[in-house]
Each structure stands twice: as C-alpha cells, then as structure tokens.
C-alpha cells in the first residue's frame, strides 16, 4: 500500500507540473500572439514612424493593429484599454490631456522617440546669413519683409500667437500683419521667395518636408517666447501594465527614437513625393539596418531568435 500511495502521489505531482507548464505556455503564447494596438493621429510624421515600428514588429513575428484617431480619443483609448501604444504624444502641447492619466497611473510616458522638434518664426538660410537671427533683428529689418508674417490657418495655435504678438505690439511687431492660409498656400509663398532670393518670414516647423526642400533657420527670442524657437519632445506613451505583458515589443519601443532630420525625410517621402507609407518605411529600414540593430539590442523575435536576425532576413 505504501509503494502504491507513493506512485499515485508521484503521478499526481507529475500531472500537476505538466498542467502548470502547459498553462504557462498557453499564457505566454497568448501574450505573444496578442496584437500590439497602436493608435495614430493623421499626421505624416507619426504615420510613417508607426509604420516603421509595425514593419519591424511584424518581421519579428509580432502582430500589430493601427487605428487612426484624434489625440483626445487616443488617450481615452489608452485609459479604457482599447489602445496599447501611441508614438505621437507631443509635450508640452498634450500635457492637459496626458498628465491626468500619468498622475492616476492609467498611462506611462515610456520613452522620448523624437527630441529637438521645433516651431516658430522661420526664415530662409540666406536671410539668416544676412544678419536676421532673432525677433529683434526681424523687427529692425521690417521694411525688407513688408512687415508681413506668413502663417497657416487662422485657427492654428501658432497663428493665434503671431496675431496676439502683433495686437500687443510685442517687441515692436505692432505695425506688422499676419497673412494666414493653408499649409500649402503658405509654403507656395516660401517657394516663390526662395526662388527669387527674397526676404520672407513664416511659420516653420520641423520635422516636416519643408526642412528638406528648403534650407531654413528658426529665429531666436529667449526662453519665454511664444512665437519663436519653441522646442518640443515627442513621447511614446503606453497603457499601464502593457510593457510587463509584452516585454520584447516594449524593449524595442523603449529604444525606438529618431532624429528630426530622419523624420523630416520620412515626411518628405510620404507627403511631398506622395509615396506610400509602406514603401517609405520599407526602403528606409532596408537602408538603415545598423540603426535598427541598435533599437533591437537584446530584443527577441517571437520564435526566440535575436530580433535583428529576423529583421535582416526580412529586409536584406
């Protein structure tokens, strides 16, 4: 009886261990097969940036989903559990939407994926080289510019800031005017001025294709300025708990960051050259596998091999 009891106990223990291992395997497989759910704003930069990320994850055997939403609904989706990742959290512009979620633990500001983004009053390089480096310089040279600032739609935040600066006479801008139009309309004025080497001041920002097509400079105005040299950092934001459930994808996204020059070229290819986002992303990855290797340091593909090996196999 004693030997029989031990045998039954051993058998039961073996079954229990097998079940535990099996359940663990199922849980891991389920986690690995759950798609990474991205949400994007319909902005060229975040569109291509997310396409690059999803192509790399797919090459490593991880499924992805992408949904196009406004910023407000992206953050609501992260809070509700319907969105895992956003690569388009512009700070401080999104602070009022994002900070409450960070404070109550619904989201994590996971990594900076773009640093050095800037917007404000801009001039062509030849104007900068002529000595116009700041708002003070611009005002002093007002006659050369016809005291006119070119801007985008009237409802845009920077256009409002320009109009407020003119209305308040900021640094002598009271005699100036703001001409607003579409982005395309404003940039057509820039193109005409550049073609003829004429002075022009306009609402510039980067990353954007204008930074590739035109050689531009951003005017200086001090830390308190609301119209010039306004720097932004773009963050990857994830739902709370998502990195722990998806350690390999999370490790990649923790390292995934690009320069403003790289993102400007993505935007140029996608928007100005009107190439498909899939093509822009695929071509860039294939030509920049050394950079991708840095992002994938220590990242495993879904089948357990090094992630960079899976990517090289897909893109070499």
- Please report the pLDDT score of residue 18 as a whole number: 38
φ/ψ (deg, to 5) at 70? -75, 165
Counting Cβ atoms within 10 Å, is residue 93 exposed (0-12), middle (13-18) or buried (19+)? middle
Rounded to the nearest angstrom, the gap between the alpha carbon of residue 297 and the centroid of all alpha carbons in its chain is 21
Measured distance CA(287)–CA(281) in Å, rounded: 10
- Please report the pLDDT score of residue 224 as a whole number: 86
The alpha-helical segments, DSSP class H, found in the chain are: 2-33, 44-59, 71-80, 95-103, 125-129, 135-140, 157-168, 183-195, 210-213, 242-245, 247-255, 260-267, 277-287, 289-295, 307-315
- Please report the pLDDT score of residue 197 as a whole number: 97
- Please report the pLDDT score of residue 182 as a whole number: 94
pTM assigned to the model: 0.84
Q: What structural domains does the chain harbor?
A: 2-115+235-315 (3.40.190.10), 117-231 (3.40.190.100)
- Please report the pLDDT score of residue 33 as a whole number: 66
Measured distance CA(176)–CA(313) in Å, rounded: 58
- Please report the pLDDT score of residue 32 as a whole number: 52
**Mean pLDDT by 10-residue block, N- to C-terminus, for the chain (316 residues)?**
37 37 39 84 95 98 97 96 97 92 97 96 98 98 98 92 97 97 96 98 97 97 92 97 97 97 97 97 98 98 98 95
Contact call for residues 90 and 207 (beta carbons, < 8 A): no
């Amino acid at each position: 009886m004693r030997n029989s009891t031990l045998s039954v106990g051993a058998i039961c223990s073996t079954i229990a261990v097998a079940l535990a291992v099996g359940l663990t395997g199922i849980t891991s497989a389920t986690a690995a097969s759950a798609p990474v759910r991205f949400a994007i704003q319909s902005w060229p930069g975040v569109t291509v940036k997310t396409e690059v990320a999803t192509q790399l994850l797919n090459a490593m055997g991880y499924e992805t989903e992408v949904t196009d939403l406004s910023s407000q609904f992206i953050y609501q989706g992260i809070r509700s559990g319907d969105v895992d990742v956003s690569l388009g959290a512009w700070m401080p512009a999104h602070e009022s939407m994002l900070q409450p979620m960070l404070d109550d633990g619904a989201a994590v500001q996971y990594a900076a994926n773009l640093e050095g983004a800037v917007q404000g009053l801009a001039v062509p390089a030849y104007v900068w080289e002529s000595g116009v480096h700041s708002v003070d310089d611009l005002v002093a040279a007002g006659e050369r510019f016809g005291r006119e600032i070119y801007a985008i739609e009237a409802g845009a935040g920077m256009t409002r800031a320009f109009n407020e600066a003119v209305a308040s006479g900021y640094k002598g801008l009271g005699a100036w005017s703001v001409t607003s139009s579409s982005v395309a309309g404003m940039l057509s004025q820039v193109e005409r001025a550049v073609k003829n080497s004429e002075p022009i001041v306009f609402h510039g920002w980067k990353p954007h294709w204008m930074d590739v097509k035109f050689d531009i400079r951003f005017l200086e105005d001090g830390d308190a300025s609301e119209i010039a040299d306004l720097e932004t950092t773009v963050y990857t934001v994830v739902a709370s708990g998502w990195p722990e459930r998806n350690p390999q994808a999370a490790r990649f996204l923790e390292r995934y960051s690009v320069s403003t020059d790289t993102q400007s070229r993505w935007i140029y290819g996608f928007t100005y050259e009107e190439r498909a986002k899939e093509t822009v992303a695929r071509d860039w990855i294939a030509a920049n596998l050394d950079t991708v290797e840095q992002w994938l340091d220590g990242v495993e593909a879904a089948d357990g091999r090094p992630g960079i090996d899976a990517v090289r196999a897909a893109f070499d």
